[in-house]
């Protein structure tokens, strides 16, 4: 076994790998860019080596620097994590040539599976069902249109070298195809340096189901069942689970057998994932194989008890698999939520900044569920524009799917983030949806369920009680601390502008009893809050909850799960005055084009005095490698331009003003 491993990655996956190395008694070397000098991974590793400036192309993607760091520290093996060099066969070969072990599959397997066209051809030869389509390369838009007609619309245009949901587009018509073909080619060249494109049938309303495989260097391959990853935005996974609510034992066995057949066809000798799209009728078609550890691997670990990073290390060291297919079984249900620095209220655009506050849920066994939180950052860390905006992979395990969903909802409540936009309220909303609970998933889930985007959910009657109880208790605690306790029993709680009458009393056990004039009573116990804390914890009628709270001038802004409101606790006479105050109108921003996210101005397409038609591009903003094209919403004449190419901008900065 290795005694020292170098981790050629960063963030949460680096931390995740270090944890397993520590448990196995293996020393770790963390390489880092200038932006990551103070990162958690660097702090946790036994040694750290600086490999270059922040941009990945000048640090994490430089094989030379990584090999130098291996030499310098005497590490015997490299774990590449995911992204960066993890699926780079040339890097794996280079290590091999230098006598350094690559903790991943052999380079020939990476080559065979690394590009979507080659892997589809391999899969078809191995008897795996593939999406109907055209296996060859396509060079001209005319040729693409001709093939699309043969396949039959809708058709998916895909970059052979694509990954991370990039380089994919759907075409419904000849016109879509001609335009999309050029767009995917350009995007692929830009993102992957490879503009090869192919076409396949677009499976409508499908599910994404994938099989985890594990092989060793002695010809053994097993599968560790499936994960379902149908909750996606921009063809990228957000919520994953294992097992899949769709599969029955027979389909699971059939998919597992195909995944193993494919892995064996390429002498697969590490952890890998065979991805399928599945119809609602349980038909399934091969998409691609990812020859690396996958972001959602923890859900498989939680239902099988196998540590996949440990198995990758053992296999790279030449050990045979210590278990056979029959030794593996599914135990319970696990869900993963990817917590991203992004703004769910604005089309999930990336958000960057300093994580001013970061409260994490307690890990391990809770009341009826288990929490695992793979996080790569600490309070005070910067989420930078240079790398992937994932903050953490939050997982919940329980004996049943329902209990795992409940556990995830609670774990999300216990997650508190301040300083960057984040998708926790969105994830909480999904956990609340009857459709998610019913398991009727599809890759169209997010556009289906949030057709106008995400705007939070209104508080349910039970949540209204939570908001009122929290506000009243905080009010009382605050008044007591200020030396100004009131013995008033009748209050009006305004949730946003809606009044709710409530009267208070205490029972023999000092529990706070709330009686609502609208009907109903609630008993608040186990209150855990003091002025200044951003989370209010208590039990309402014996059920624990956590609310995110912020003091504002005349009350609190409180969020419970996906419901957020301004809550004011007022004496009845004051509440009456409030009801008569006119509501403040938000400023009129219809003549402004504002930056939807912090980032860099790539280009400005207009000048003052210019006439612009609705739909015309006004400016392009870039952050986290994503370009956002801002278009005029209606016809108008440009009055002023506030920025130029190269300028950094904050969210809401005014870029262009119309007259």
- Give dist(CA 497, CA 436) in Å, integer: 31
Closest residue by Cα to residue 102 from 138, 130, 76, 136: 76
CB of 578 to ligand ADP, least distance (A): 47
> With respect to ligand ADP, which residue has the nearer C-beta, 158 or 465?
158
CB of 525 to ligand ADP, least distance (A): 41
Cα radius of gyration rounded to whole Å, the chain: 27
> With respect to ligand ADP, which residue has the nearer C-beta, 237 or 372?
237
CB of 488 to ligand ADP, least distance (A): 54
CA distances from 98 to 95, 520, 654 (A): 5, 72, 53
CB of 168 to ligand ADP, least distance (A): 6
CB of 401 to ligand ADP, least distance (A): 20
> With respect to ligand ADP, which residue has the nearer C-beta, 339 or 604?
339
Residues 271-310 that bind Mg ion (CB under 5 A): 275
User: Given 12, 226, 288, 342, which residue is catalytic?
Assistant: 288
Residues that bind ligand ADP (CB under 6 A): 82-83, 131, 156, 162-165, 168, 200, 202-203, 206, 208, 232, 235-237, 275, 277, 287-288, 290, 294-296, 388, 443
Q: Assign 621 to helix, strand or coil.
A: strand
| Annotated catalytic residue 288 | yes
Binding mask 217-256 for Mg ion (x = CB under 5 A): ----------------------------------------
- Output the residue with the shortest Cβ distance to ligand ADP: 163
CB of 81 to ligand ADP, least distance (A): 9
> With respect to ligand ADP, which residue has the nearer C-beta, 208 or 314?
208
> With respect to ligand ADP, which residue has the nearer C-beta, 537 or 625?
625
Task: Find which of ligand ADP, Mg ion, none residue 162 binds, CB within 5 to 8 Å per kind.
Answer: ligand ADP
Categorise residue 303: left if φ over 0, alpha if ψ from -120 to 50, beta otherwise.
alpha
Judged by CB under 5 A, which stretch of 183-191, 267-275, 435-443, 611-619 contacts Mg ion?
267-275
Number of amino acids touching Mg ion (CB under 5 A): 1
| Residue 130 DSSP symbol | B
| 369: its two tokens | 């569920």
CA distances from 581 to 138, 491, 576 (A): 65, 19, 9
CB of 210 to ligand ADP, least distance (A): 8
Task: Find which of Mg ion, ligand ADP, none residue 441 binds, CB within 5 to 8 Å per kind.
Answer: none
Judged by CB under 5 A, which stretch of 270-278, 309-317, 382-390, 544-552 contacts Mg ion?
270-278
Q: Assign 520 to helix, strand or coil.
A: coil
Task: Find which of Mg ion, ligand ADP, none residue 443 binds, CB within 5 to 8 Å per kind.
Answer: ligand ADP
- Give dist(CA 63, CA 90) in Å, integer: 9
Instruction: Answer whether 47's CB lies under 8 Å from 5's CB.
Output: no
- Give dist(CA 296, CA 163) in Å, integer: 15
Q: What is the dihedral of CA 381, 386, 389, 395, to 10 degrees?
A: -70
Residue 578 burial by CB count (10 A; 0-12/13-18/19+): exposed, middle or buried? middle
Categorise residue 95: left if φ over 0, alpha if ψ from -120 to 50, beta otherwise.
alpha
Name the packing angle between helices 63-73 and 89-97 (round to 10°): 30
- Give dist(CA 110, CA 292) in Å, integer: 9
Give strand ranges (E) for 234-347: 236-242, 271-278, 284-290, 333-340, 342-343
> With respect to ligand ADP, which residue has the nearer C-beta, 184 or 656?
184
> With respect to ligand ADP, which residue has the nearer C-beta, 154 or 544?
154
Q: Assign 425 to helix, strand or coil.
A: helix
Task: Find which of Mg ion, ligand ADP, none residue 154 binds, CB within 5 to 8 Å per kind.
Answer: none
| 502: its two tokens | 């409530």
Task: Find which of Mg ion, ligand ADP, none residue 345 binds, CB within 5 to 8 Å per kind.
Answer: none
CB of 294 to ligand ADP, least distance (A): 4
The helix (H) or strand (E) run that includes residue 447 is helix 445-449
Q: What is the dihedral of CA 456, 457, 459, 461, to 10 degrees?
A: -170
Task: Find which of ligand ADP, Mg ion, none residue 419 binds, CB within 5 to 8 Å per kind.
Answer: none
Task: Find which of Mg ion, ligand ADP, none residue 55 binds, CB within 5 to 8 Å per kind.
Answer: none
Instruction: Answer whether 621's CB lies under 8 Å from 595's CB.
Output: yes
Task: Find which of Mg ion, ligand ADP, none residue 232 binds, CB within 5 to 8 Å per kind.
Answer: ligand ADP
| 88: its two tokens | 């780079």
| 275: its two tokens | 């991805």
Between CA 451 and CA 495, with CA 427 as vertex, the angle to 5 degrees is 85
- Output the residue with the shortest Cβ distance to Mg ion: 275
> With respect to ligand ADP, which residue has the nearer C-beta, 202 or 358?
202
Closest residue by Cα to residue 278 from 122, 438, 442, 127: 442
Task: Find which of Mg ion, ligand ADP, none residue 344 binds, CB within 5 to 8 Å per kind.
Answer: none
- Give dist(CA 304, CA 204) in Å, integer: 31
> With respect to ligand ADP, which residue has the nearer C-beta, 164 or 636?
164
Q: Assign 315 to helix, strand or coil.
A: helix
Task: Find which of ligand ADP, Mg ion, none residue 200 binds, CB within 5 to 8 Å per kind.
Answer: ligand ADP
> With respect to ligand ADP, which residue has the nearer C-beta, 104 or 206?
206
> With respect to ligand ADP, which residue has the nearer C-beta, 295 or 395?
295
CB of 236 to Mg ion, least distance (A): 9
- Give dist(CA 217, CA 426) in Å, integer: 43
- Which positions ≥6 away from 75 have C-beta within 8 Å? 2, 4, 5, 6, 29, 69, 100
The phi, psi pair for 401, rounded to 5°, reads -65, -45
CB of 206 to ligand ADP, least distance (A): 5
CB of 204 to ligand ADP, least distance (A): 7
Give the strand pairing for 47-52 and 27-33.
parallel
Task: Find which of ligand ADP, Mg ion, none residue 393 binds, CB within 5 to 8 Å per kind.
Answer: none
Q: So which residues are the catalytic ones? A: 288
Footprint of Mg ion (CB under 5 A): 275
């Amino acid at each position: 076994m290795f005694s020292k491993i170098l981790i050629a990655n960063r963030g949460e996956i680096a931390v995740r790998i270090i944890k397993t190395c520590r448990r196995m008694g293996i020393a770790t070397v963390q390489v880092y860019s200038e932006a990551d000098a103070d990162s958690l991974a660097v702090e946790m590793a036994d040694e750290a080596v600086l490999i270059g400036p922040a941009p990945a192309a000048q640090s994490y993607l430089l094989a030379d620097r990584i090999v130098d760091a291996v030499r310098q520290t005497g590490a015997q093996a490299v774990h590449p994590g995911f992204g960066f060099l993890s699926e780079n066969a040339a890097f794996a070969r280079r290590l091999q040539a230098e006598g350094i072990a690559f903790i991943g599959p052999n380079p020939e397997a990476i080559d065979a599976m690394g590009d979507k066209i080659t892997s589809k051809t391999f899969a078809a030869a191995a008897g795996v069902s593939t999406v109907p389509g055209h296996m060859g390369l396509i060079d001209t838009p005319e040729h693409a249109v001709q093939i699309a007609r043969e396949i039959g619309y809708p058709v998916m245009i895909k970059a052979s070298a694509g990954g991370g949901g990039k380089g994919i587009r759907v075409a419904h018509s000849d016109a879509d195809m001609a335009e999309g073909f050029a767009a995917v080619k350009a995007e692929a060249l830009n993102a992957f340096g490879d503009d090869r494109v192919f076409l396949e049938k677009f499976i409508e309303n499908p599910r994404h189901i994938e099989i985890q495989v594990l092989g060793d260097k002695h010809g053994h391959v097993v599968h560790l069942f499936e994960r379902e990853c149908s909750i996606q935005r921009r063809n990228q996974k957000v919520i994953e689970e294992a097992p899949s609510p769709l599969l029955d034992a027979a389909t699971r066995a059939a998919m597992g057998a195909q995944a193993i057949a494919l892995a064996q066809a390429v002498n697969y000798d590490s952890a890998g994932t065979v991805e399928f799209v599945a119809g609602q009728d349980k038909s399934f078609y091969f998409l691609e194989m990812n020859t690396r550890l996958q972001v959602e691997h923890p859900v498989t670990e939680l239902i099988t008890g196998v540590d996949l990073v440990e198995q990758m290390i053992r296999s790279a060291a030449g050990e045979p698999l210590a278990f056979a297919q029959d030794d593996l079984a599914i135990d319970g249900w696990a869900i993963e939520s990817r917590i991203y620095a992004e703004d769910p209220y604005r089309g999930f655009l990336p958000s960057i900044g300093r994580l001013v506050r970061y409260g994490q849920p307690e890990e391990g066994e809770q009341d009826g569920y288990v929490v695992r939180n793979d996080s790569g950052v600490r309070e005070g860390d910067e989420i930078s524009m240079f790398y992937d905006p994932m903050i953490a992979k939050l997982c919940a395990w329980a004996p049943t799917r329902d209990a795992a969903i409940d556990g995830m909802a609670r774990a999300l409540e216990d997650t508190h983030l301040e300083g960057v936009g984040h998708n926790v309220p969105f994830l909480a909303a999904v956990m609340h949806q009857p459709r998610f609970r019913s398991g009727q998933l599809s890759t169209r889930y997010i556009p289906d369920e949030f057709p106008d985007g995400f705007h939070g959910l209104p508080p349910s009657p039970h949540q209204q009680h939570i908001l009122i109880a929290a506000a009243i208790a905080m009010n009382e605690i605050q008044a007591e601390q200020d030396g100004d306790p009131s013995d008033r029993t009748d209050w009006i709680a305004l949730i946003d502008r809606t009044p709710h009458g409530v009267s208070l009393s205490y029972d023999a056990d000092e529990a706070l009893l709330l009686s609502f004039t609208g009907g109903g009573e609630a008993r608040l116990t186990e209150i855990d809050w003091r002025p200044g804390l951003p989370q209010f914890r208590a039990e309402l009628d014996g059920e624990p909850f956590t609310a995110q709270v912020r003091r504002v001038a005349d009350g609190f802004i409180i969020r419970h799960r996906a419901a957020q409101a301004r809550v004011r606790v007022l004496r009845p006479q004051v509440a009456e005055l409030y009801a008569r105050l006119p509501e403040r109108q938000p400023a009129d921003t219809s003549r402004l084009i504002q930056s939807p996210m912090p980032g860099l101005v790539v280009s400005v397409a207009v000048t003052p005095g210019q006439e612009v038609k609705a739909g015309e591009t006004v400016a392009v903003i870039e952050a986290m490698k994503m370009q956002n094209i801002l278009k005029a919403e209606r016809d108008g004449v440009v009055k002023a331009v506030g920025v130029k190419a190269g300028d950094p901008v904050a969210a809401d900065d005014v870029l262009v003003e119309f007259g």
